[in-house]
Amino acid sequence: MSRPDKEHLFELIAQVAHAIANPHRLELLDLLVQAPRSVEQLATAAALSVANASQHLQRLKRAGLVVGERQGTTIRYRLADPSVARLWTELRRLALAQQADAERALDRYRPGRRRYPRISLKELRTGLARGTVLLLDARPTLEYEAGHLPGALSIPLAELPMRLKTLPKDKLIVTYCRGTTCVDADEALELVLANGRRGARLEESVAEWREAGYRVERSAPAH
């Protein structure tokens, strides 16, 4: 292989790095790890204008990270390959492990995370098998339907205050959402604990669950 060929190859690989070297595009990937979405849905969830979100998505598309599929008058975006989800989760894990500033920023974003009881994937699987755990998915319904942990109950954070009394008192309530950088499961756990239930936080998301080789369930959209 000639030197120019090698440099061209590395330039193509660098295009992927350039594409994700933006906080807004990383957030869009985080959202797409959870579920395919339209440009409008992504813009709303990421607090971007539709035009800005579309520009970021085109950059991700050119790098081969996302795919846009037309459905009628709407274009829905999804990850181009499961490896993109692994890229995002590993990048997040690396940044938090290697950058003290990232860890401090996470503490500011999730101020209660160090005092919440936690549960590991292994402990969760044991509890589910024994029937001693109720798994609560605090993400939006769209994300739950696209893929959730087996047996998880969908209660989006906004609905939880009205449904707290329906939760069992004899089980450990485990909350989860999009992973380490998601605050919804923390806020859900706060409500659970304040209501006198036993609770714990699962730091991992559906992506890490899938990476560990465990089965993910899907639900048909409600009509």
Packing angle, helices 82-98 and 23-34, rounded to 10: 130
Confidence tier at 1 by pLDDT (50, 70, 90): low
CATH topology of domain 112-211: Oxidized Rhodanese; domain 1 (3.40.250)
CATH topology of domain 3-85: Arc Repressor Mutant, subunit A (1.10.10)
d(CA 130, CA 138): 22
For the purposes of burial, counting CB atoms within 10 Å of the CB of 177, is it exposed (0-12), middle (13-18) or buried (19 or more)? buried
Per-residue pLDDT tens digits for 65-115: 999 999 888 899 999 999 999 999 999 999 999 999 999 999 999 999 999
pLDDT average, residue stretch 148-168: 95
CA-to-CA dists, residue 100 to 104, 105, 112, angstroms? 6, 9, 18
Contact assessment for residue 148 and residue 187, using Cβ atoms and an 8 Å cutoff: no
Per-residue pLDDT for 193 more than 80? yes
Q: Which residues contact 168 (CB under 8 A, 6 or more apart)?
A: 134
Contact assessment for residue 183 and residue 214, using Cβ atoms and an 8 Å cutoff: no
CA nearest neighbour of 29 among 77, 69, 93: 77
CA nearest neighbour of 84 among 143, 31, 163: 31
The structural domains of the chain, with segments of one domain joined by +, span 3-85, 112-211
Per-residue pLDDT for 222 more than 70? no
Instruction: Report the catalytic residues.
Output: 177
Confidence tier at 52 by pLDDT (50, 70, 90): very high
Q: Are strands 172-176 and 199-201 parallel, antiparallel or unpaired?
A: parallel
